[in-house]
Amino acid sequence: MADVLSVGVNLEAFAQAISAIQALRSSVSRVFDCLKDGMRNKETLEGREKAFIAHFQDNLHSVNRDLNELERLSNLVGKPSENHPLHNSGLLSLDPVQDKTPLYSQLLQAYKWSNKLQYHAGLASGLLNQQSLKRSANQMGVSAKRRPKAQPTTLVLPPQYVDDVISRIDRMFPEMSIHLSRPNGTSAMLLVTLGKVLKVIVVMRSLFIDRTIVKGYNENVYTEDGKLDIWSKSNYQVFQKVTDHATTALLHYQLPQMPDVVVRSFMTWLRSYIKLFQAPCQRCGKFLQDGLPPTWRDFRTLEAFHDTCRQ
């Protein structure tokens, strides 16, 4: 008897809760209506504002009231049993029309897959941690302990310091102009224009160079909405090649303790491309090989070589 009674009460509470939810929804939509309509219908601006705010407050109050009501009712409804391993979604298995909506079996499948994925990801991360990527060859010799110590300090350099280093480099090379911008937070992006030869987009993280893209002087480096386009590559094969070499150079010039030196030496190396179309290969003496000029610049001597002519 008591059981039956409690079920009855429960059902009633459910019905009330549903209507409370409806009330809540309508009052919320009234809030949005009010916001959508904005201020109007009054002579003066002040009057409009007042009326709008009052109206808005009323609406919010009613939302609050409805929400409280709903919370009260939800306590009456009682909690659904939580002992099912899939919690509420386990109730899906109660759906009698399995054939039409095989949600439950799909859910189980997905759960299995996600478990497997997590397991494999764990394994992979373990393996990868053993083979951690080093940014350059001579980094190998440095003890593994020092690096983590060095990195945090170089990653939290103040933006002014970065600005300073960049502007000093900018002044160093007259034929190279560097434009610094920070479109997203503190990370700087550089647009380096080298003579009338090429443009380089450099993405920095603090004073570390993360990514570079080399494009032609006459190519567009901006996306349609006016931001620097750091993803699309050059239309010319020459500059695609130079982009590859520049990325190699990023990995080569690495000195975590003195990041400003790294940037400076990278820029010095980059500057040697001013004679991209004018310097013949130091090895074969020719300009062209497979239709490309000497795109490689030696890291130390800055001499020009074809990709295949370098040692």
Partner 1 sequence: MEMFRSNTVWYIICQPPTACGYSTGQLRFRGVSQMPVAEGKSVQQTVELLTRKLEVLGAEKQGTFCVDCETYHTAASTLGSQGQAGKLMYVMHNSEYPLSCFALFENGPCLTADTNFDVLMVKLKGFFQSAKASKIETRGTRYQYCDFLVKVGTVTMGPSARGISVEVEYGPCVVASDCWSLLLEFLQSFLGSHTPGAPAVFGNRHDTVYGPADTMVQYMELFNKIRKQPQVPVAGIR
Residues that bind partner 1 (CB under 8 A): 196-198, 216-220, 222, 234-239, 276-278, 280, 286-288, 290-293
Rounded to an integer, what distance in angstroms lies between the CA atom of residue 210 and that of residue 228?
Answer: 15
Least CB distance from residue 137 to partner 1, whole Å? 31
Least CB distance from residue 238 to partner 1, whole Å? 5
Q: 198 CB contacts (<8 Å, ≥6 apart)?
A: 214, 215, 216, 217, 239, 242, 273, 276
Q: 132 CB contacts (<8 Å, ≥6 apart)?
A: none
Least CB distance from residue 176 to partner 1, whole Å? 15
Q: Which of 180, 171, 226, 172 is nearest to 200 (CA)?
A: 180
Q: What are phi and psi of 115, to 5 degrees?
A: -60, -45
CB-nearer residue toward partner 1: 254 or 295: 295
Rounded to an integer, what distance in angstroms lies between the CA atom of residue 188 and that of residue 246?
Answer: 18
CB-nearer residue toward partner 1: 188 or 214: 214
CB-nearer residue toward partner 1: 157 or 292: 292
CB-nearer residue toward partner 1: 100 or 231: 231
Least CB distance from residue 241 to partner 1, whole Å? 10
CB-nearer residue toward partner 1: 189 or 197: 197
Least CB distance from residue 236 to partner 1, whole Å? 4
The string of DSSP codes covering 44-85 is SHHHHHHHHHHHHHHHHHHHHHHHHHHHHHHHHH-PPP--ST
